Structure 1
Amino acid sequence: MKFICLLIGAGVFLPFSCFLGKAQNTFRVMSYNVENLFDTENNPLMEDDEFTPDGNRFWTKGRYYRKLQHVSQVIQAAGEWNALALVGLCEVENDSVMEHLLRRTPLYKQDYRYCMTHGCDIRGINVALLYQREQFRLLGSEELRVPTTGKERPTRNILHVWGEVVSIDTLDVFVCHLPSRYGGELASRKRRKDAIGVLKKCTDSLYYCRKYPKILIMGDFNDTPQDESLEEELEAKAYSPDNKPVKYKLYNLFYDAKGSHKYQGEWNQLDHIIVNGALLQENQALHVQKDSYQVFSPSFLLIPDKTWRGVRPFRTYYGFKYEGGYSDHLPLVVTFEWNKM
């Protein structure tokens, strides 16, 4: 694994305080599957024809720019009074989409930069991480390729980003969008387990590369917390504040959440934010703020569910019907805090 350090001038490593404006004692993170954030251009190498003006979804520039504004609105609302430090995004198409999001919406005021994958997903969708430079200093990034065999379709790469946070801790961040349940949960299970295997190998290796690893994993796993891929393969367990966390174990902060995605009337928790125990120990400089993790569900992200009752996410498309909403997933938000040691 190749690690990159940011050097200034003749090999001088500047302290992070040189890059900061006014320091905060909180550090908020969001994970969000934005539901098919495609531009309107046809990429002949990918199966993205439906998201063009002539495609069967009639994906016009007007709809595209409305989508960009919606994603921007959610990011700003989740940050409340301060810009989110990190935003993991699933289902973004390419660099053009990311540049438009950060330069043609109100997000341009918040000085975000991004890293993203450029994988071989047949539809051309990727994952990305936005980082706010006053709160996270990028040191390096890499894509983790998930192997495929036989006639399996290539899937999305996993994004690994590492950088320095205000507390002078190095934080390793993983953004994942695991293979879908297309063809059935059982038939597709192996593909998600293969992806988890790649992720687990990399997170385990950090305990040999870092003195005190701080690991943050987020994204759409297309599995619930109790499914085999997460609970047994990744070994991401439920976290209880009543029990002392073990620094090298992984804990799913959304193990008992009610759900971020609704399918046929059932809420399921397919989106997750997972941390290692070091980020749950309050004596550490950087740690999860108690009871700060939530499925972010303001009223503008929900509409009445006329088919199954209750409410459901206000989607961009419901099937092939254009609704003009936000996404078929709700975002997750976690707040960290840091102490001067």
Structure 2
Amino acid sequence: MLILIILCLSLLCSCSCDIEHDPKTFRVLSYNVQNLFDARLDGGEYPEYQDPKVWNDRSYRMRLETLSKVLLSEKLLSPDVIILQEVEGPRVVEDLLCLHLGRKGYRWYAVAKGTDAAISVAVISRHPIASSTVHASAGIRPVLEATICTEGGDISLFALHAKSQIGDGADLRLSLAKVVSRASYERAGSAVLLCGDFNEDPSSVWDTAASAPALVDMNHPEATRLQAAGALGLVGDHAALAPGLYYCPYLDESWKGSAPGSCSWDGLWHRYDQILANGKLFDGMGWEYESFSIENLPSLCSSDGRPYAWNIRTLQGVSDHFPVLMTLKRR
């Protein structure tokens, strides 16, 4: 699989940043923005985006503006890093930065996309990206690793978008988990966050007969076997963290969310959008985990409180996912 990666360290657009810098706080936002394609027809777009009467420069710019208003909302507290899933490619990120986000200090970005893929993952940052790497395996979407330089030390972010629940994607989700597990384990001595749309609930091992989950709650009696098979081991108690395990706020009994989940399908809520933290964020040194939230802002909700999904036919809505936000603090 060939991978496209773009890293821009000095975006050529005007920047008059008025976001107050807080050296003791670091926030990461992860957001599946639901099929954000640019207006140029390259041939790899989904069919509904190939009709210029429906999808054109005007509708594209309108959607960029809608998304930028969300990302720059005061209620999101100016994330230091924004991780996006389902953007077409680097052109979308560049337009988003040059037209909207660049003036707020977002000047660094990286994008990873499979050659034959329609969509990609992106990392956008107000801090320098020291390095970026793509991790891949046959048949799966690429995982983008970006090392962010901060005054409190480097933070290794892994941006991913697992195969959806439509069709038979369990094996592909497990393959992606193996790639992420191996790559992130090499950064065990650093602060590590795994971010994105995992397309699997962290508690799914309890609710399904699937024999090969990509995520496993380590309280499950078969957890050790499943983790050895490649699943990412999750805990809800940071005291139980060990090398190769990740803290999942959803599994923490003390965590309280403002919404039952980050997305909803067939009337059921799911917690597919996640940010997982390794043990370095709970060792009392440098950056430390502070909080995690599902950001169901009023502008992102439909009348029933579920995500106001984007509808290309009506050119209404935002996304079928809510963004999730993790805050770190320097002790």
Range of TM-score over shorter length: 0.7 to 0.9
What's the CA shift for 1:49? 4.0
Q: Deviations over 1:286-323 (max 9, x none)?
A: 1111xx2100011111012xxxxx32111211xx6435
SS across alignment from 2:250: coil
SS across alignment from 1:303: coil
* Correspondences of 1:55-74 after superposition (within 5 Å): 58-74=54-70
Greater Cα shift, 103-112 or 256-265? 103-112
Give the letter aligned to residue 218 of structure 1: C
CA distance 1:254–1:162, change in 2 (3 Å): same
Specify the alignment match of 1:199 in structure 2.
Answer: 180
SS across alignment from 1:322: coil
Specify the alignment match of 1:333 in structure 2.
Answer: 325
Q: Distance in 2 between matches of 1:240 and 1:246?
A: 11
Count of aligned residue pairs for this structure pair: 286
Q: Distance in 1 between matches of 2:116 and 2:231?
A: 23
* Correspondences of 1:110-259 after superposition (within 5 Å): 110-122=105-117, 124-133=118-127, 137-148=128-139, 155-167=140-152, 169-183=153-167, 187-207=168-188, 212-227=189-204, 228-231=213-216, 232=227, 233-240=230-237, 243=239, 245-246=241-242, 249-255=245-251, 258-259=260-261
Gaps of 5+ in 2: 1-19, 205-212, 217-226
TM-score normalized with structure 2 length: 0.80
Is residue 73 of structure 2 the alignment partner of residue 77 of structure 1? yes
CA distance 1:262–1:323, change in 2 (3 Å): farther
Is residue 50 of structure 2 the alignment partner of residue 52 of structure 1? yes
Q: Is the 8 A contact 1:40 1:52 kept in 2?
A: no
Specify the alignment match of 1:99 in structure 2.
Answer: 94
Gaps of 5+ in 1: 1-20, 149-154, 305-309
Q: Is the 8 A contact 2:237 2:247 kept in 1?
A: no
- RMSD of aligned C-alpha atoms? 2.2
Q: Is the 8 A contact 2:31 2:323 kept in 1?
A: yes
SS across alignment from 1:73: helix
Q: Distance in 2 between matches of 1:68 and 1:255?
A: 34
SS across alignment from 1:165: coil
What's the CA shift for 1:218? 0.4
Q: Deviations over 1:33-78 (max 9, x none)?
A: 000110121113x2444213437xx212222112111221121126
CA distance 1:191–1:235, change in 2 (3 Å): closer
TM-score normalized with structure 1 length: 0.77
Give the letter aligned to residue 30 of structure 2: S
What's the CA shift for 1:336? 0.5
Is residue 34 of structure 2 the alignment partner of residue 35 of structure 1? yes
Q: Is the 8 A contact 1:262 1:313 kept in 2?
A: yes
Give the letter aligned to residue 327 of structure 2: T
Q: Is the 8 A contact 1:294 1:334 kept in 2?
A: yes
What's the CA shift for 1:238? 3.1
Q: Deviations over 1:1-35 (max 9, x none)?
A: xxxxxxxxxxxxxxxxxxxx954311111000000
Specify the alignment match of 1:260 in structure 2.
Answer: 262
Q: Distance in 1 between matches of 2:27 and 2:178?
A: 28
Q: Distance in 1 between matches of 2:243 and 2:182?
A: 17
